[in-house]
Structure 1
């Protein structure tokens, strides 16, 4: 039988042979110190979160079966741009919240290319649109995994513990982001094979006695999941980002709206922040080599609170000097970026402080040391 005849027979039988699609499932962890936690503290929008590391799980999808082929952990210097570059070989990139938070953080310090948006699938954004409610309650990864897979391996960590106060969820660093990436992969495969999606109960719904729900996925959703059609939220991402609003019809966050005007590509070189870094180098507080890039200097701005973050970027955009308070806080951020071992040790003892009085003594000692360091930094940049 000739090739043409064999192809006609396969088409007649409804058999479609596809080359496997290279899929990367990804999850991002953030530096806890960059996010606002605690009672009465204004939450920082994703534009103000610092990417700490990212987990990637590589796989191939042949239309019916998902085969895992490898994984990697992106960490170290400039993790935002390193993460985006690591996604380049993928034909399809899948993440839970990748459009709604991860890329919003990354674009503030590095470029988010069009090719990435064209290949990206956000299961959170899709689940939120599918559910059709104002807020994406019951659509977090843990809730969806429980509702669709019957169990969740995702560990939830409290931010506030009675008697210990605000811990800033530092325990998240105990989890490998590749574990959540695998959970995203299992959820994605389930949605395709079952052609349906179930969601959990939101906190608001639980109070009212409401339960979760489920429904079949339409052809558009299935086409978006497999990359045959660009996801709506990805196609409109840049336009929505300009207004601080990725999910519809959620409310516009004022801080997010202000910050979105000052993403990395919209700013000149952050010479004011570089001046702070140079003073710290001269004083021997941060290493002279390697030279900090614009990405690292803008990352330092993400460590600031939302209002200071906005002010710092506004001053960079307008070429104005930084205030003394901004210089002091940026000095600590730059010191943190260049002294990761000390910062990681600090979080190590904070995590263990819940069970150990000795650990809390160590935290107190390091906090005293932090005060002395900040004093030195303040004198250098005054």
Structure 2
């Protein structure tokens, strides 16, 4: 018997005997600049999203119920690799969108080991597959929590407000990602104890149409949820990633397809981006003691729009120079990465500008300062 088969048998026997299994539930938040929002703006695939922080909830599963044992908030520098390292010890890692978005973002800047994929469960991917529709409408965490747990505890955060425009993902920074991780845990436990899954209404079905449905979970679904059998989307993750498609039969995104050719593991060290960072440091725009890792340099590429992001990674792969536009935009991304306090303060005032003229005046002042900063950066790297 091979090692993998033996581990699967031990996990199954452990569940039958009531031996606790360490499960980590996780939710990831993304930084501003990671994806495009707003009217008429083309969406950016997860390969271009920037991981900002992650919430973890630890629990022991004895086959009947969860015993919560602790939680973690992963933030600070290099959150992608810190998140991957934090979930490594778990026997099972569960997230809503972890295979469909979170790991797709992480693999662009750091390594995602096969042994982690083997222990990963994505409740979004599973719900979408079981529902059998082209798009995962009614399968988001809020919809599933409402349909299965009878509550709407997941807060929705608007990203487009008339008069303010695009607020981006940092509008969620008032929330703790551990709250959503706990909601994932409760949904996962419900699916196992009730052995059923109900789908919520999609956005178009809010007034009565397409109001979901549901049904019992078969033995394969239960085995995937408990890690006794590898989830289909986890087993095929690398193959699907290479073709820009994780959910089936959702259409292939052209930008994701192009970016999926250039995860961090297959690229050389991004010396072109490091050269920009060194120019900024020599000019006093980056703290002298700061030495950026390859992960942070690749993360700067994720702040670019999809076409520029693809161009930057292609040039890194081929060893070609970066054009002026890429150098300028990467300079601002690198400055943002190394000046998180300023960036966070900027978004703090933006979030409050709708209700306060004083706050909006502060935003205008900081926007003027931003323009001056970018002018200095461009003179250094142009």
Q: Say whether the fold is shared (TM-score over 0.5).
A: yes
Correspondence for 2:280: 280
Correspondence for 1:377: 377
What are the within-5 Å matches in structure 2 for residues 334-349 of structure 1?
334-349=334-349
Distance 2:343 2:45 in 1: 23
How far apart are 1:288 and its partner, in Å? 2.4
How far apart are 1:300 and its partner, in Å? 0.1
Alignment partner of 1:264 is 2:264? yes
Distance 1:16 1:324 in 2: 61
What are the within-5 Å matches in structure 2 for residues 131-146 of structure 1?
131-146=131-146
Distance 1:144 1:296 in 2: 35
What are the within-5 Å matches in structure 2 for residues 12-27 of structure 1?
16-27=16-27
Distance 1:23 1:42 in 2: 36
Distance 1:267 1:294 in 2: 10
In structure 1, list runs of 5 or more residues that go unmatched: 1-14
Distance 1:87 1:22 in 2: 11
Contact 1:127 1:139 in 2 (8 A): yes
SS at match of 1:58: strand
How far apart are 1:32 and its partner, in Å? 2.0
Correspondence for 1:130: 130
Contact 2:188 2:225 in 1 (8 A): yes
Correspondence for 1:248: 248
* Range with bigger deviation, 52-61 or 169-178: 169-178
SS at match of 1:33: coil
How far apart are 1:33 and its partner, in Å? 2.3
Distance 2:271 2:192 in 1: 49
What are the within-5 Å matches in structure 2 for residues 185-334 of structure 1?
185-206=185-206, 209-334=209-334
Cα RMSD of the aligned pairs, angstroms, is 1.2
Matched residue count:
368
Correspondence for 1:11: none
Deviations 1:266-287 (A, max 9, x none): 1111010000000001001001
SS at match of 2:118: helix
How far apart are 1:291 and its partner, in Å? 1.1
Distance 1:375 1:83 in 2: 35
How far apart are 1:375 and its partner, in Å? 0.2
TM-score by length of 1: 0.95
Deviations 1:81-137 (A, max 9, x none): 000000011000000000000000000000000111000000000000010000000
- Between structure 1 and structure 2, the one with the greater Rg is 1
How far apart are 1:207 and its partner, in Å? 6.7
Correspondence for 1:71: 71
In structure 2, list runs of 5 or more residues that go unmatched: 1-14
Contact 1:170 1:350 in 2 (8 A): no
Distance 2:169 2:156 in 1: 9
SS at match of 1:23: strand
